Amino acid sequence: MWCSGLRKRYGRRTAVDGVSFTVGRGEVLGLLGPNGAGKTSVIKMLLGLVRPDAGEVLLLGRRGRDPRARERVGYLPELFRYQPWLTAAEVLALHVRLAGARVPAEEQRQCLALVGLAERAGDRVGGFSKGMQQRLGLAVALVARPELVVLDEPTSALDPLGRVDVRDIVLSLRERGVAVLLNSHLIGEVERVCDRVVILDRGRVAASGTLAELLGQREVRLRLGGVGAAAEARMSAVGALHRTGEEFTVALPADDDGSLVPGLVADLVGLGVRVHAVEPVRISLEERLLGILREEHP
């Protein structure tokens, strides 16, 4: 999926102003930003639900204005409602027909099982809780074997177990080469599953990149005793060293594959250093998001 220069005005208010990004196959892109940042407007323009004032969209190699572009797209909107007199299985079958897809009944049942509704397939949707309806909406988004899945607040009504289920489903989609666009206020979920993040504010892209690019350099904090000159030199050889009493913070190089810290600790022990604690340190995505928004709203 690719979009470039998307713009949308509603009266005097500019909702989206020059937004561009891509989502590749087998990639999960997180869309973050405060309320009113333009996230849902961007999603609606991507899916042809709202016509942009300017900009271009490509969905799976076709222009966004082409209805065929949406044939292989699964969508879970933020707000939705299904016919309360239908059962969960009937809702799924209806959306398979609307999508023009051929999905065997057994595969539809498997889709309901995937979202935890196998035992409620014959129950009417009108009796479902908000969390169960959210699970059904996710099944509708996935049932037609999409190659691009757009999820707008997929965990908004789910309990912690449900959020874990959604996380596992998103990761399985990535493993199958499906492109996923995820809009969520739950920053921890975005941090766990997304390969890249786009942060929107006031309708514009305030920042974008991989988590490593956005969160910056990783560090390790060590609480040590009996540190001599040789031990300090060993830590300095890894990266920039900062000391506060018995606490040492060492910057890790960007190409570290995870082997530096165990080797460093082993060498320090060999030099007679007492190791009391080892703690990885990196700014959280929430801290980075708040920092960006404060820069945008001084």
Kindly report the CATH number assigned to the domain that includes residue 254: 3.30.70.980
Does 298 reside within a domain?
no
pLDDT for residue 34: 86
CA–CA gap between residue 254 and residue 260 (Å, rounded): 11
pLDDT for residue 69: 81
For residues 181 and 239, membership in a common domain is answered with no
For residues 173 and 95, membership in a common domain is answered with yes
DSSP 253: P
Which of 59, 33, 60, 79 has the alpha carbon at shortest distance from 207?
A: 33
CA–CA gap between residue 139 and residue 115 (Å, rounded): 6
CA–CA gap between residue 87 and residue 60 (Å, rounded): 32
State the residue for tokens 């996230």: 39
DSSP 270: H
Indicate the burial class of 221 (C-beta count within 10 angstroms; 0-12, 13-18, 19 or more).
middle
For residues 226 and 172, membership in a common domain is answered with no
More confident residue, 220 or 29: 29
The reported pTM is: 0.78
For residues 140 and 51, membership in a common domain is answered with yes
DSSP string, 130-197: HHHHHHHHHHHHHTT--SEEEEESTTTT--HHHHHHHHHHHHHHHHTT-EEEEE-S-HHHHHHH-SEE
Which of 64, 70, 16, 78 has the alpha carbon at shortest distance from 41?
A: 16
DSSP 24: -
pLDDT for residue 253: 81
Please compute the mean of the pLDDT values over residues 155-184 and round it to a whole number: 90
Q: What pLDDT band is residue 283 in, cutting at 50, 70 and 90?
A: low
For residues 249 and 164, membership in a common domain is answered with no
For residues 187 and 241, membership in a common domain is answered with no
For residues 126 and 225, membership in a common domain is answered with no
For residues 209 and 84, membership in a common domain is answered with yes
Percent of the chain residues topping a pLDDT of 70? 97
Does 79 reside within a domain?
yes
Based on the structure, what is the number of domains in the chain? 2
Interstrand relation of 219-225 and 179-183 (parallel, antiparallel or unpaired)? unpaired
Q: What pLDDT band is residue 68 in, cutting at 50, 70 and 90?
A: confident
Indicate the burial class of 237 (C-beta count within 10 angstroms; 0-12, 13-18, 19 or more).
exposed
For residues 151 and 257, membership in a common domain is answered with no
Residue 94 has pLDDT above 80, yes or no: yes
For residues 256 and 178, membership in a common domain is answered with no
For residues 167 and 76, membership in a common domain is answered with yes
pLDDT for residue 138: 94
Per-residue burial over 246-279, b = 16 or more CB atoms within 10 Å of its CB, e = otherwise = eebbbebeeeeeeebbeebbebbeebebeeeeee
Domain that holds residue 195: 2-214
More confident residue, 184 or 56: 56
Does 291 reside within a domain?
no
Q: What is the crossing angle of helices 260-270 and 229-238, to 10°?
A: 170
Half-sphere exposure of 251 (CA within 13 A, CB side): 8
DSSP 252: P
> Which of 214, 243, 266 lies at the terminal end of a domain, its last residue?
214
Does 35 reside within a domain?
yes
Does 228 reside within a domain?
yes
